[in-house]
């Protein structure tokens, strides 16, 4: 029942939200709904018996599709991430003004429905539905409230992902025709009569869709533009949660379904991921725009997770799940800072900033902690995640681990460069009239920073949450 509530609450909030005209009221409404969703998720995951974690209803019996949702080990982490991110995002951007605010917040809630649905679906057709449902609100959010080049950029993003989805649909159809009981259920899909050779085609049809979403080099070209042009709250959803859809989908819908093909093609995919990491890091070093820098840095981080998924191994897969959560909240923190800088100073260009530490010391402290988390320094949450990932890669192939390690060094270079250019050095013309970050953003950032350090020191809760799912996955594999 819990997963149904997690879909239902934001859905109702979203639909009713369209009718709210007032900025503050719309924002409050969405925040309250997202907090209720968060409470439902937390109580549901930690306090409810496992019987409450599943729900199944008939949907289209004639073709074997059912409305089957579950909070299992694989989805718990990301459901939690989605549930936590939304209130953080909405509160942090509460001071942003939007034309037609009711529609904005309603679409944000609907995007949450799509995300939750992707994570809890246990039926391939239902999964496909939610996969698209997550995309449509984001398309409208970015195209209506985005930056100058929003229409073209968002459209590119949409077409890119839609082509991927359609290919996945063909893959779903092929797998479906090979299920033993003509059903879309996940359990049937993991038990098809596809031979190892026949797996190749559906494997790639699925994988391309997910690779676009993550994105994996060379399918990443939509991402920096989309992140830059989308309104910040949407960018946070995109990079904090939505890119995890791709990673999650590989764990849920590719590895258990097509184990032979995944095994056969793991090397080229890992190499592509690592190439993408280094490539994105090198580009990030050249960026002058904070948003684009974070976007490329995000590609690098996701690349590492993608590589670790295919490298396999218990530790690696656990690391991916832990890191998906950590990266989600860390990157949201960075976007909040980028948003704050842009809102108060009117620019995102590193070359125009400088000396912000003297003008806004609180912000500077928060910025530095999140920057450290972005380089995965020990005592931050990202450290434990990346450690597990590297462990997995290292066991797979030492040279690949070494190449991936280069991008971590490059990551330190561009992140510290950013910190230096924004916070330290001469106070520039733009930053002379800088003010401290607003209260909403500040408190959200403090929450995030506390989580960063707490989970860095004691990551056990996250690791526990993922353990049974990884074991289950390895059994299937």
Partner 1 sequence: MNAIIVSALLGVVMMFSGIFTTNKTIIKNIATAGVLFLLAANLMEMNNLFSFNINTHDLIVTQRYGLFFNCIAYGATFIYLVLSGTDITEVGVNVAEYFALIFFVLCGVAILSSFNGLLMLFIGVEILSIPLYILTGSDKRNLKSNEASLKYFLMGSFSTGVMLMGIALMYGATGNFGMVHSNGLRGVVSATQQPPFLLVAGIVLLFASMSFKVSAAPFHFWTPDVYDGAPSVFTSFMSTIVKAAGMLAFIRVFENQYTILGPTWHIIVDFAIVTTLLVGNITAVFQQSVKRMLAYSSIAQAGFMLFALYANNTEIAKEGILLYAAAYSSATISIFAVLIKLQDYTLDGFNGLAKKEPVLAFAATVSLLSLSGIPLTAGFFAKYYVLAGALQAGGALWLIIVAVLLAAVSVYYYFRVIQAMYFKEGDPQTLPISGGFKAALIVVAAFIVILGVWPSALLSWLYF
> Binding to partner 1 (CB under 8 A): which residues in 199-218?
201
Q: Give the interface segment with partner 1, choosing from 130-138, 228-236, 343-351, 468-476 (CB under 8 A).
A: 130-138
Lay out the site mask for partner 1 across 153-192 (x = CB under 8 A, - = otherwise): --x--xx--xx--xx-xx--xx-xx---------------
What is the smallest separation between the CB atom of 244 and partner 1, expressed in angstroms? Answer: 20
Tell me whether residue 226 or residue 403 sits nearer to partner 1 (CB atom).
226
Task: By CB under 8 A, name the one of 1, 16, 54, 59 that touches partner 1.
Answer: 59
Tell me whether residue 154 or residue 235 sits nearer to partner 1 (CB atom).
154
What is the smallest separation between the CB atom of 208 and partner 1, expressed in angstroms? Answer: 11
What is the smallest separation between the CB atom of 210 and partner 1, expressed in angstroms? Answer: 16
What is the smallest separation between the CB atom of 144 and partner 1, expressed in angstroms? Answer: 6
What is the smallest separation between the CB atom of 185 and partner 1, expressed in angstroms? Answer: 17
CA torsion, ordered 297, 299, 305, 308, to nearest 10 deg: -110
Alpha carbon distance 163, 94 (integer Å): 34
Tell me whether residue 49 or residue 61 sits nearer to partner 1 (CB atom).
61
> Binding to partner 1 (CB under 8 A): which residues in 60-79?
60-63
Task: By CB under 8 A, name the one of 105, 129, 207, 253 that touches partner 1.
Answer: 129
Tell me: does residue 16 bind partner 1 (CB under 8 A).
no
What is the smallest separation between the CB atom of 99 and partner 1, expressed in angstroms? Answer: 10
Q: Give the interface segment with partner 1, choosing from 129-137, 282-290, 299-307, 406-414 (CB under 8 A).
A: 129-137
Q: Give the interface segment with partner 1, choosing from 125-133, 246-254, 283-291, 389-397 (CB under 8 A).
A: 125-133
Alpha carbon distance 473, 477 (integer Å): 6
Tell me which residues touch partner 1 (CB under 8 A).
59-63, 128-129, 132-133, 136, 140, 143-144, 150-151, 155, 158-159, 162-163, 166-167, 169-170, 173-174, 176-177, 201
């Amino acid at each position: 029942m819990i997963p149904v509530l997690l879909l239902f609450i934001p859905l109702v909030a979203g639909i009713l939200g369209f009718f709210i005209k007032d900025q503050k009221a719309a924002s409050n409404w969405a925040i309250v709904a997202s907090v209720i969703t968060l409470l439902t998720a937390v109580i549901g995951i930690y306090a409810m018996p496992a019987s409450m974690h599943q729900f199944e209803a008939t949907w289209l019996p004639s073709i074997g599709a059912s409305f089957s949702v579950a909070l299992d080990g694989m989805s718990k982490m990301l459901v939690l991430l989605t549930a936590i991110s939304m209130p953080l995002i909405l509160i942090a951007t509460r001071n942003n003004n939007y034309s037609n605010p009711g529609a904005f917040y309603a679409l944000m809630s609907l995007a949450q429905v799509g995300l939750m649905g992707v994570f809890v679906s246990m039926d391939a057709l239902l999964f496909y539905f939610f996969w698209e449902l997550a995309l449509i609100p984001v398309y409208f959010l970015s195209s209506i409230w985005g930056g100058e080049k929003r229409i073209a950029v968002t459209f590119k993003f949409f077409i890119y992902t839609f082509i991927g989805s359609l290919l996945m649909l063909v893959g779903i159809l092929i797998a479906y025709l090979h299920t033993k009981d003509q059903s879309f259920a996940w359990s049937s899909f993991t038990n098809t009569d596809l031979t190892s050779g026949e797996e190749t085609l559906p494997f790639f049809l699925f994988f391309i869709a997910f690779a676009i979403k993550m994105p994996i080099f060379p399918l990443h070209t939509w991402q920096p533009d989309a992140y830059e042009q989308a309104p910040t709250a949407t960018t946070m959803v995109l990079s904090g949660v939505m890119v995890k859809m791709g990673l999650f989908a590989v764990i849920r819908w590719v590895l258990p379904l097509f184990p032979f093909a995944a095994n056969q093609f793991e090397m080229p995919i890992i190499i592509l991921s690592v190439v993408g990491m280094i490539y994105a890091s090198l580009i990030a070093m050249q960026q002058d725009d904070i948003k684009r820098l974070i976007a490329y840095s995000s590609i690098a981080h996701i690349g590492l997770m993608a590589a670790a998924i295919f490298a396999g191994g218990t530790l690696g897969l656990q690391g991916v799940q832990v890191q998906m959560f950590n990266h989600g909240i860390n990157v949201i923190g960075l976007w909040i800072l980028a948003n704050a800088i842009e809102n108060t100073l009117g620019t995102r260009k590193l070359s125009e900033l400088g000396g912000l530490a003297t003008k806004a010391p609180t912000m500077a402290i928060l910025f530095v902690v999140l920057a450290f988390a972005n380089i995965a320094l020990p005592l931050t949450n990202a450290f434990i995640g990346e450690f597990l990932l590297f462990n997995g890669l290292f066991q797979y192939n030492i040279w690949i681990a070494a190449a991936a390690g280069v991008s971590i060094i490059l990551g330190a270079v561009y992140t510290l460069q950013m910190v230096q250019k924004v916070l330290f050095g001469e106070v520039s013309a733009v930053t002379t009239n800088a003010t401290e970050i607003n209260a909403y953003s500040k408190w959200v950032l403090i929450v995030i920073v506390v989580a960063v350090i707490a989970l860095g020191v004691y990551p056990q809760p996250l690791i526990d949450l993922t353990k049974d799912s990884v074991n289950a996955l390895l059994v299937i594999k």
